[in-house]
Amino acid sequence: MDTQKIDELLTKLKKLVSMKSKSIEYYKMIYIDNIKEKDVEAILLISNQSEYIQLNENNIYFYLESPIYTCLAIHDDNIMLGFIIISVIEDESEIIDLIISEKHQRQGFAQILLNNSIDIIIKKNVSHIYLEVHEDNSNAIKFYKKNNFVEISIRHNYYNYNKSAIIMNKDIIS
C-alpha cells in the first residue's frame, strides 16, 4: 500500500476517532495487540525517534517476559504506529513508556493506547496510575494533564544533564 493511501486512511480514522466512536473494532486497518517478540525491531525504531526515551533490546525483552508488565502496540495494517508499556503491582500502576512514531503523532493514537491501557488497569482493580515525564517534554505533559493526570512531585536532576522528571498521578474511580 502506498504512502498516500495510508495517509488518506489515517485521516479518515482521525475523523472517526474525533466523532467519539468508542470502539476500535470498526476499523479494519487499525488495531491494538499485545507486543510480541517479532515487534522488538519496530519498538527500537520508534523508541530511537524519541528525544526522551531510548529503549534497548534487553529492556524490551525484560518487559515482555515479566508478568507485571502489559505491552500494547497500535498498528495500521501490520505497521506499528506506537506502543505503551504499563506495570501493575497490587493496586498501583505505572505507565513506563508511551511512544508514537514521529510520523503518526497528533492523530489520536496515543489517546487510543492510553484509553485501552486504562481499561486494562481498571479491570485489575487499580486505584492509582503513576508516570514520570521529562521536564522538557511539554507535549507529553499537556497530553497527560488533558487526561486528568496531576503533577505530584519532581525528581530533581533525575536525567542526564541535570534535567528533572515530573511525577504525575491519576486516581482511578471504578
Q: Quick check: 164 pLDDT over 90?
A: no
| pLDDT attached to residue 82 | 95
Task: Determine which of 2-6, 20-24, 130-134 has the lowest per-residue pLDDT on average.
Answer: 20-24
| pLDDT attached to residue 19 | 44
Q: Which CATH class is domain 27-171?
A: alpha beta
Grid cell 505505572 — which residue? 94
The pTM for the full model equals: 0.80
Q: Which carries the bigger pLDDT value, residue 23 or residue 133?
A: 133
Give the phi and the psi of residue 27 in degrees, each rounded to 5: -95, 120
- DSSP at 102: G
Split at pLDDT 50, 70, 90, the class of 27 is very low
| pLDDT attached to residue 4 | 63
Dist. CA 86–CA 84, nearest whole Å: 7
Mean pLDDT calculated for residue range 150-160: 87
- Strand runs labelled E in the chain: 30-34, 69-76, 79-89, 92-100, 128-134, 150-159, 163-171
Q: Quick check: 22 pLDDT over 60?
A: no
Q: Quick check: 146 pLDDT over 90?
A: yes
Angle, helix 40-49 to helix 57-65, in steps of 10 degrees: 120
CA 93 vs CA 44, 62, 73, 122: distances in Å? 24, 17, 18, 10
Domain locations along the chain: 27-171
pLDDT of 88-120, one tens digit each? Answer: 998 899 999 999 999 999 989 999 999 999 999
What percentage of the chain exceeds 90 in pLDDT? 57
**Nearest Cα residue to 137 out of 51, 12, 29:** 51
